[in-house]
Structure 1
């Protein structure tokens, strides 16, 4: 059992936003598979169909996706959130997005009655014009968005950052100034693939976000830097597919980890990661998870 931003998690392996988070039943299934908490699909102020297909491809070393934040909008998603809360028996974090601080606040306020345990602010999607990283690269905007959501709720507020910036620490500090309770790092890395036989970009949106094993070193470095600079917890995400990956992320400074692309190989990854972390701690002579969080900083 761990506690992060006041939420009690049975283990530090959390479902990342955008994976199996479209319905309440799919979120509950991941909880039943051993996740310590689950994060919903990002929900916005208006329905979005998303980008045209192909919207996701397996590169072998990772995934490239450009979903475009498809969602039914917050009024229609409230019922799914209620199902997830009723069936999951773990904290359910609502991922939300908007084009400005006001829209973020409206979505958060509209979902509160559905009972989320926390909000995760998506200011980091790399392929949705006018949303996500389009505003997440602006420290002032991130601070304003965090403050606006904190004004409408007393629930914990997590801010998910994009790595597609020159200085992720400055964005993390802005979120902290705005009242964020935790930082989630990172979202996908902007990328592209081209079919050499036709010359066409593979994705319908032409470019998208790279996830999976290929981005883990980028995520580790971002978490390491954020942990050193901030006073709030960092939740690490990016390329985690094993307990060894999770331990490495935690030694960089993550208080918990999120798992996304690895679900492709089976939802049992959550139980495997959680059990592996527990065995590592007990066999390594550590007292608890807190002993390994940020350990790499104490080794330098």
Structure 2
């Protein structure tokens, strides 16, 4: 490792963070559980579990299933609702000095806006460094489809949320990989006012219990996460970053997520175009994974001669141009 430390700071949509590492929504509850293992304020940002307007009990059990190189989850956005969240969870995160990227969800575009409005009025809102709009959840107003597979539906949600928040609070649209052209969805979100993108959410999957000869999850299907999906995340980030470079829509920061277990995994997403990294499933067997990945990533960057983290963002695109 080089003697001089790497500057790991990053600016996402005019918000300065001390480093690019975050938790991934849904994999670390709302902070208290993970805080037993390391100080959550040491992360660039803590990403909350997606919160909706009203309390939800979620899907029936069983809710999780292991797969080769990953896992399926079918939690169903269980949560306390936005009012309890801001009173308890957000207030606690503020008390420990965390920078918070609040993930919000809704069954309709109007619900997303309502959740954002309540969040904005919270006394703890000053610890919020951005809002992640989980448009990858089911759109109950459209026969159970997902907002993120439709450019118009995605744009509507982003626009309504953007209206409810101060202009200096970034809005990140979280995209689904279960589409044929993710760049078109990204474009619609950015043109509707998204300050950045989070890529990718889980892939839709299913497991059959061959002993009982029936689906293993109570909800039948679930979200596939873990190392097995990382190549999909790399591909999606690459495609969207390339579309920005081609001028299809304005360049915004991408938060990369999907199967990151090590600093080398994180570097792959960064080289593809991610300006920040979320660590999710890895925390289930290593609660310190986010801070470990940060340390490993910094060491890798130093070994490769980078002075700053931002120099590595999109590096693979620049190398590709050289060899054409």
TM-score over 0.5 for the pair: yes
> 2:267 aligned to 240, 243, 247, which one?
247
Calculate the TM-score normalised by the size of structure 2. 0.87
Q: What SS class does the counterpart of residue 117 from structure 1 fall into?
A: strand
CA distance, structure 2, for counterparts of residue 215 and residue 260 of structure 1:
12
CA distance, structure 1, for counterparts of residue 312 and residue 100 of structure 2:
25
Structure 2 residue aligned with 1:175? 189
CA distance, structure 2, for counterparts of residue 110 and residue 283 of structure 1:
46
> 2:39 aligned to 32, 38, 42, which one?
32
CA distance, structure 2, for counterparts of residue 29 and residue 175 of structure 1:
36
Deviates more, 1:278-287 or 1:89-98: 278-287
> 1:287 aligned to 301, 307, 311, which one?
307
Structure 2 residue aligned with 1:210? 224
CA distance, structure 1, for counterparts of residue 263 and residue 62 of structure 2:
31
CA distance, structure 2, for counterparts of residue 260 and residue 46 of structure 1:
25
CA distance, structure 1, for counterparts of residue 34 and residue 103 of structure 2:
13
What is the count of residue pairs matched by the alignment?
296
Equivalent pair of 2:171/2:194 in contact (CA under 8 Å): yes
**Structure 1: 5+ residue stretches without partners:** none
Please report how far the alpha carbon of residue 31 of structure 1 lies from its aligned counterpart in structure 2 after TM superposition: 6.2
Please report how far the alpha carbon of residue 199 of structure 1 lies from its aligned counterpart in structure 2 after TM superposition: 1.0
How do 1:68-217 residues align onto structure 2 when only pairs under 5 Å count? Answer: 68-79=76-87, 80-87=89-96, 89-112=97-120, 113=122, 114-115=124-125, 116-125=128-137, 128=138, 130=140, 134-154=146-166, 155-217=169-231
Equivalent pair of 1:8/1:91 in contact (CA under 8 Å): no
Calculate the TM-score normalised by the size of structure 1. 0.94
Equivalent pair of 2:139/2:147 in contact (CA under 8 Å): no
Once the two structures are superposed, residues 18-73 of structure 1 have per-residue CA deviations (whole angstroms, 9 ceiling, x without a partner) of 01224x52364576164321111101122211110110122241011111111111
> 2:29 aligned to 16, 21, 37, which one?
21
Greater relative contact order structure (CA < 8 Å, 6+ sep): 2
Please report how far the alpha carbon of residue 102 of structure 1 lies from its aligned counterpart in structure 2 after TM superposition: 1.6
- RMSD, matched Cα: 1.7
Structure whose CA Rg is larger: 2
